[in-house]
Structure 1
Amino acid sequence: MENSGAEAIRVVALGNDGDGIAQTPQGRVFVPGTMPGDEIVLASQTGTQGVLEQVVTPGPDRVTPVCSLFGTCGGCRLQHMALPAMMAWKAARVTEALKRAGFTTLPAPATRQVSPHGRRRVDLAFRRMDRQIVLGLHRRRGDVVDMTECALLDPTIFALLDPLRQMLHSLPAVHAGGDIQINLLDSGPDLLIAMDGTPDANDRRILAQFSKTHGIPRISLRTQPPETLALTGPVFHHFDTARVVPPPGAFLQPSREGEDAIKAAVLAGLPRKGLKAGIIELYAGCGTLSFALAQHAKVLAYEGDRAAFACLKQASGGTRVLPALRDLNRQPVMATELGRAGAVVLDPPHAGAGAQMAQIVAGKPRHIIYVSCNPAALQRDLTPLQQMGYRLESLTVIDQFLWSAEVESVCVLTLPGTTRPNRR
């Protein structure tokens, strides 16, 4: 429906995906690029989706986007929103999820927002277009937008983009395009590439030279398992005092600042007493939290991904980290074991803890520290804990996905009558 000449309408809230919500005669409408307080005119409306024509009067927290690609590149959705307002909105999303889970008394959330230019993990697409390589992110349901600037990426990663364009253009194995994941490890950038051709000896020679020239220890091909295409130096990363060798495409927290904030909130939530029984860590990954936790107690660290488990196991010698390979959805750690732990720490995937949650509820561990990247899954997983009588002792909300709708949180829970967590 075309809305030419329509009267201005007011945006009253943000949806979970970061689109503004306004009320029209046709009903509620979601409008990308708007925010609460904006008086806007729609160019068109189809069902519940609106297209912005003009902001007549900006809301109090609207700012000028920091990147000229905003609105075209698919990487940021909220650069028109002031950072303090964004932090408050994300904290409100988490607290609302906890209220819906049944918690009526909530501690004031501690908040942490990372700095721009700190993202050390990115997935990019590349395409051959007009005899050049376009490298960047997809616009919403559209083509790849060339990433000519970015306020998110670590400068080390961004400086690689132009050389990558030139190198990918020269690769015979790249026909129409592919995608590339970059992890900035302590040893340097780690690349995992998928392309639409099969790399031959000439491709490998080009990749090896590129690695040497730009200080990239490893380039891998996205196969199952990944195949190393170029290896020009040691690959390593540090989690506290442990030196690990992450597999290609390993999960890292997107920023060092964000990782440090999560770790600090988890460690602050550990109980003062009772850790002689040890800590059970679920979804341990390559050890982001494991080695920090091991400075306080023995850690039985469960991980279901074989490559991440192998990384964790290789680095765990001489530490108090005891890795265990286990698919926690198919074979959850049982209630009796969880109930004996001094604390249970879990950082589940975006979908939540799944079948593992029922065993946690049944085991009634005294202390639970739940790290979440999804308020909806947080609400679903914590609802039965609230019903069992768990109390929310502390809440930390972390914005490490700047200008997006994503939010991290750390919830510290105890059963009444148990030792309260250390307020360190």
Structure 2
Amino acid sequence: MAHAIRVVALGNDGDGIAQTPEGRIFVSGTVPGDEIVLAAHDGTRGTLDHVVIPGADRVPAPCHLFGTCGGCRIQDMALRALLDWKTGRVVESLQHVGFDAIPAPQAHQVSPHGRRRVDLAFRRVGKQIMLGLHRRRGDVVDMRECTLLDPTLFALLTPLRALLHSLPAVHAGGDIQINLLDSGPDLLITMDGTPDANDRRILAQFGKAHGIPRISLQGRPPETLALTGPVFHHFDDVRVVPPPGAFLQPARAGEAFIKAAVLAGLPRKGLKAGIIELYAGCGTLSFALAEHAKVHAYEGDRAALACLKQASGGTRVLPALRDLNRQPVMATDLAKAAAIVLDPPHAGAGAQIAQIVAGKPPRIIYVSCNPVALQRDLTPLRHAGYQLDSVTVIDQFLWSAEVESVCVLTLPGAHRRNRR
């Protein structure tokens, strides 16, 4: 009879870690505290047979597709425990950086059914369209329920299946990205055929019928296939026209938590020197920052920069195109700012960090979506003398291993007029 083993922790990708005499084994579908029996293992990864005794934080998964659909990794763990685990991941990264003191984090979690951005795949299977996410290392799972998506987006999936089935340009399948903008859903489609006038007519009719002002075809740049109304979104009170496939924070509440933490981290005095914002995107943070000071906003994506520039008239946002990894903002410019706000991609800030270290601006507000990159980027800042003033953790990717954080760092003794 197989012996039960105990899951003692979660790994960084959300799989449970069971400690055995032979070493650690990663087992998906388990949570800390579970006593489990394995069906098989290869020495490092195991397949769960059954749970003998559930851990204190184990809960029934709220979605019947859990374990099949690739969208959620940790639905069998209580949300409060999941937030604690994500907070612990961020704190552990900061501990590895070596800060003398780590402030108690503020932690926030969005609610289910709040996801307003999704990337889906679709495949023709017989006379049906399968539309959903890929199972782990597998085929597309038809998304007939979802605890993540905003109800407006989920309600769109059924008519989308019919639309995709009717399009002559869809042969075997493709992909579709949906952003829920203030003007309605915004669709960016990849097809395995070339859309003709008939496809465009079908798409325009679909857009009018379902309140979708723009449907675009993936490309460099994307091509608008159907435009049936104005496309717009608001950051604070500023109306922007995001390009197809624009980056949005996945949940409105998550964006609000991030923005609040960033604004709370600004110095109370000395902002006449202005703010330098790196990786500004379409202006998620830019216009809120501009309520407090002049903002030099740098962005490397041309489409996002064009959106930001078009909307910045009459504001204190000064957009500039800059590939920050190839051409970082230099230390001499960074040194003059009252604060640096950066929201880098998943891989981190790269070459820009060395210039920040050299410039020694008095305050840095770092928005992170990756604790590993956060640790790597903050380590040279800590060596340069920066101290950690506050930490905010945001769980807006529910039931996944992804976590956002906002860290505020100050340099003791630097430009005391800019200190709180």
User: Are the counterparts in 2 of residues 272 and 419 from structure 1 also a CA contact under 8 Å?
Assistant: no
Give the match for residue 147 of structure 1.
143
Indicate the SS of the match to 1:172: coil
1:202 aligns with 2:208: no
Q: How does 1:267-416 map to 2 (within 5 A)?
A: 267-416=263-412
Following superposition, the deviation at residue 419 of structure 1 comes to: 5.6
Give the match for residue 228 of structure 2.
232
1:263 aligns with 2:259: yes
Give the match for residue 14 of structure 1.
10
Indicate the SS of the match to 2:356: helix
Following superposition, the deviation at residue 274 of structure 1 comes to: 1.2
Indicate the SS of the match to 1:50: strand
Indicate the SS of the match to 2:33: coil
Give the match for residue 126 of structure 2.
130
Does the C-alpha gap of structure 1 residues 421 and 68 become closer, same or farther in structure 2, counting only changes over 3 Å? farther
Letter in 2 for 1:331: Q
Indicate the SS of the match to 1:157: helix
Choose which of 54, 74, 86 in structure 2 pairs with 1:58. Answer: 54
Q: Deviations over 1:230-262 (max 9, x none)?
A: 000000000011100000000000000000000
User: Are the counterparts in 2 of residues 271 and 419 from structure 1 also a CA contact under 8 Å?
Assistant: no
Does the C-alpha gap of structure 1 residues 196 and 388 become closer, same or farther in structure 2, counting only changes over 3 Å? same
Give the match for residue 76 of structure 1.
72
* TM-score, normalised by the number of residues in structure 1: 0.98
Letter in 2 for 1:212: K
Moved segments of 4+, more than 3 Å: 418-422
Give the match for residue 86 of structure 1.
82
Q: 2:418 & 2:359 partners in 1: Cα distance?
A: 19
Percent of residue pairs identical: 80
Q: 2:7 & 2:406 partners in 1: Cα distance?
A: 31
Give the match for residue 250 of structure 1.
246
Q: 1:151 & 1:130 partners in 2: Cα distance?
A: 28
User: Are the counterparts in 2 of residues 345 and 368 from structure 1 also a CA contact under 8 Å?
Assistant: yes
Indicate the SS of the match to 2:335: helix
User: Are the counterparts in 1 of residues 270 and 418 from structure 2 also a CA contact under 8 Å?
Assistant: no
Q: 2:388 & 2:47 partners in 1: Cα distance?
A: 41
Following superposition, the deviation at residue 25 of structure 1 comes to: 3.6
Q: 2:88 & 2:419 partners in 1: Cα distance?
A: 24
Following superposition, the deviation at residue 27 of structure 1 comes to: 1.9
Q: 1:56 & 1:89 partners in 2: Cα distance?
A: 23
Q: 1:344 & 1:214 partners in 2: Cα distance?
A: 42
Give the match for residue 156 of structure 2.
160
Q: 1:34 & 1:95 partners in 2: Cα distance?
A: 23
User: Are the counterparts in 2 of residues 270 and 421 from structure 1 also a CA contact under 8 Å?
Assistant: no
Give the match for residue 35 of structure 1.
31
Following superposition, the deviation at residue 6 of structure 1 comes to: 1.6
Give the match for residue 99 of structure 2.
103
Indicate the SS of the match to 1:208: helix
Does the C-alpha gap of structure 1 residues 149 and 319 become closer, same or farther in structure 2, counting only changes over 3 Å? same
Q: 1:156 & 1:7 partners in 2: Cα distance?
A: 47
Alignment length, in residue pairs? 418
Letter in 2 for 1:123: D
User: Are the counterparts in 2 of residues 269 and 421 from structure 1 also a CA contact under 8 Å?
Assistant: no
Q: Deviations over 1:136-163 (max 9, x none)?
A: 0000000000000000000000000000
Q: 2:212 & 2:19 partners in 1: Cα distance?
A: 51
Q: 1:311 & 1:373 partners in 2: Cα distance?
A: 23
Runs of 5+ in structure 1 lacking a partner? none
Q: Deviations over 1:350-405 (max 9, x none)?
A: 00000000000000000000000000000000001111111110110000000000
User: Are the counterparts in 1 of residues 236 and 288 from structure 2 also a CA contact under 8 Å?
Assistant: yes
Letter in 2 for 1:387: H
Letter in 1 for 2:356: I
Runs of 5+ in structure 2 lacking a partner? none
Letter in 2 for 1:192: L
Q: 1:254 & 1:309 partners in 2: Cα distance?
A: 20
Indicate the SS of the match to 1:340: coil
* TM-score, normalised by the number of residues in structure 2: 0.99
Q: 1:103 & 1:68 partners in 2: Cα distance?
A: 43
User: Are the counterparts in 2 of residues 268 and 421 from structure 1 also a CA contact under 8 Å?
Assistant: no
Q: 1:419 & 1:116 partners in 2: Cα distance?
A: 43
Following superposition, the deviation at residue 420 of structure 1 comes to: 7.4
Following superposition, the deviation at residue 26 of structure 1 comes to: 3.2
Does the C-alpha gap of structure 1 residues 84 and 294 become closer, same or farther in structure 2, counting only changes over 3 Å? same
Give the match for residue 181 of structure 2.
185
Letter in 1 for 2:81: A
User: Are the counterparts in 2 of residues 414 and 420 from structure 1 also a CA contact under 8 Å?
Assistant: no
Q: 1:393 & 1:364 partners in 2: Cα distance?
A: 16
Following superposition, the deviation at residue 47 of structure 1 comes to: 3.4
